[in-house]
Homo-oligomer: A and B are copies of this chain.
Amino acid sequence: MTTQSPTHSPAVQTDVPLPAAATEAATQVATREQITDLGEGLRHATGGRYGPVRDLARASVPADLMVRDPSLSMPEAREWTRQALRRLVGLGMAGSGFPVAQGGLDDPGRSCIDFEMTAHGDLSLTVKSGVHFGLYGGAVTALGSTWHHERFIPANLSLEQVGCYAMTEFGHGSDVASLETTITYDRDSDELVVHSPTPSSVKTYIGAAAEDAHIATVYGQLVVDGTSHGVHVVLVPLRDEAGAALPGVTLGDNGSKGGLLGVDNGTIRFEQVRVPRSMLLDRYGGIDDSGAYVSDIENDNKRFFTMLGTLVRGRICVAAGAAVSARKALSVATRYAVRRRQFGAPDRQGEVVLLDYLAHQRKLLPAIATSYAHMFALNEIVERLQELHEAPEKDQVAQRELETRAAGLKAVITRFANDTNQVCREACGGAGYMAENGLTVLRQDADVFATFEGDNTVLLQLVAKGLLTGYKETWGDLDMRGMVQFAARSIGGQFVEATAVRPLVDRLVAAAARRSEDETLLERGWHLSMFADREKHVLETLANRLRKAKDGDAFEAFNNAQDHVLLAARTHMDRVVLEAFVAGIDALEEGEVRDALERLCTLYALNSIEADSGWFQAHNRMSAARAKAVTAQVNKLCGELRPVAVELVEGMGVPEAWLGSAMLTEPERWTPGSAD
């Protein structure tokens, strides 16, 4: 993590590759956006390794690309998104993750930041871009050979060939291993036959399938000489140049959705569609010239999870995008809450500003604190992704740990975003329900991020399994027997990972342990030990419970403990997020930026402890008096942060021009007693 002092610095960093077109726009935006010193300091402090990339996007992406008219009909929204995607490519926000040989930057970390910055605008554009470049292009890059790269990536980057990612079927979403589509090798013609054998095997919800996609990465069971080798991925052309479906391909339109109206999600049915053998993305498993199946990874299950490991970037992107939606919603709601007045009060002149009410502070400030925690956790995982990508040798355990963390962050952050976006809508009352004020489309679009790239409940189970098995085995499905059996022999010293933050955490915990309970409420060490202790206890008791049940019915043992499994995952992620926040603050110099972040970190920690007050008391980790003191302290912190609320949302880094909120640009309408 880079350490930057909270002083002014140019909005455009010259050491970041910058498309020519962007330079001019950058100057205009930088001039237009005026933020406070504290706001700017917070922006820098949360920038991390990719801070300059973020600043570049803030300075170079014009607001009209980020804000779409929310009243567009579905066909209009689709056309707007199609056009906007071309402009996005022109801004250089598409190719970071591709191989250098094909004009990319070979920087998957930066590609996550490109996604995140795009997500500051319209999420249909973000998802359309993410499907085409990230999922389709990413699969070709990660699962294909150099031949595939050379053959398909240039047309991807130029948008000449629109790609889609055909994984999900009506019958199977999160359970990828059970997909029904078949990819059967026909030795006689040296072709692969792609087929949808049942109604439930039809691919569905596939972004770009309804109108635009020319080609798909199709997930299906690879069958060679009658033997299934598990799920593999094959490239299948869908449409000819005129846009007509190719023979054997039936394309449908999912029509209206809960959001993302600009994305043309659709269905794909294959009727014995033939493609050359070379279309198989065969980096981890393929068919040689003799027609035999070959793979460097002998174990089918291990190969499957290695291939699925490429999903990690998508999950980080979805988490980052959801986090941005919450930051945008909080930016709108907070800026409104400091302008809007409602109800007079005794001893007060005029009506009271919304954010002066404790209940309103309670709605917004703990959520702002959590958003900051997520920023640091996301920086950490994006940087970790890139470090592992750059490492000369693959560290399998580290890779599994990264995948677990990505799954967990995706689940935790998308849940938070959906809750927060709704709170913000309601906190703006009727105005929040009007599309012109920038909250409705955002909330509807971000909703499905809870489902995209893996259902949150399934993902949290993956996290728990990773914890129970110490990342020693491949994972990814809901292998309950494996989880139950592993729990029987693991859970030892590997509970806490040896990371860079460990010495700092240990030091803070030790310092807090020397104080009396009365003094520790604001001590970071107490917060850290509460989070770590909660996780450790939940995980250990879960392991014991599963161990006791290991000779019985594995499904029942697992299922009876499912709420416990999910709690283990959630408390683990809470600790991971808090430690990322603590590490991020530790890297900063003393000053008002660090002071504000310390307060936010305390609010994040105490808010979480308050939410789990029942658990902490039931497990003798907190006295009744302490539980009440935590609530009082959360209220107090809300009051302390209230005066800098606008600076806090400035620091979250959403340029005001990108908020697309009429009530912020024409505040007089919503200000009681405003002059005519």
Contact = CB atoms under 8 A, between A and B. Distances in A.
Interface range for A = 35 or more
A71 B256 contact: yes
Interface string A336-348: 0000001111111
24 contacts: A73-B74, A171-B671, A173-B342, A174-B342, A174-B343, A175-B342, A178-B343, A256-B440, A258-B435, A258-B440, A343-B478, A348-B555, A357-B562, A359-B563, A362-B563, A418-B426, A429-B455, A430-B448, A433-B447, A433-B448, A560-B635, A613-B617, A614-B614, A619-B624
A147 interface: no
Contacts of A178: 343-344, 351, 672
Contacts of A426: 418, 450-451, 455-456
A537 to B, nearest CB: 13
Contacts of A199: 668-669, 674, 676
Given A258-B444, A627-B618, A434 B172 contact: no
Interface in A168-188: 168, 170-175, 178, 180
A173 B426 CA distance: 13
B457 A359 contact: yes
Contacts of A455: 426, 429
A180 B673 contact: yes
Contacts of A175: 342-343, 351
A352 interface: yes
B635 A627 contact: no
A620 interface: yes
A254 interface: yes
A523 interface: no
Contacts of A346: 480-481, 553-555
Nearest to A452: B430
Nearest to A341: B171
Interface string A352-376: 1000111110100000000000000
A78 B537 CA distance: 56
B257 A554 contact: no
A628 interface: yes
In the A-B complex, list the 5 residue pairs whose CB atoms are closest, starting with the nearest: A613-B614, A258-B440, A171-B672, A256-B435, A71-B256
A2 interface: no
A231 to B, nearest CB: 15
Interface in A480-495: 480-481
Nearest to A414: B426
Contacts of A635: 560, 563
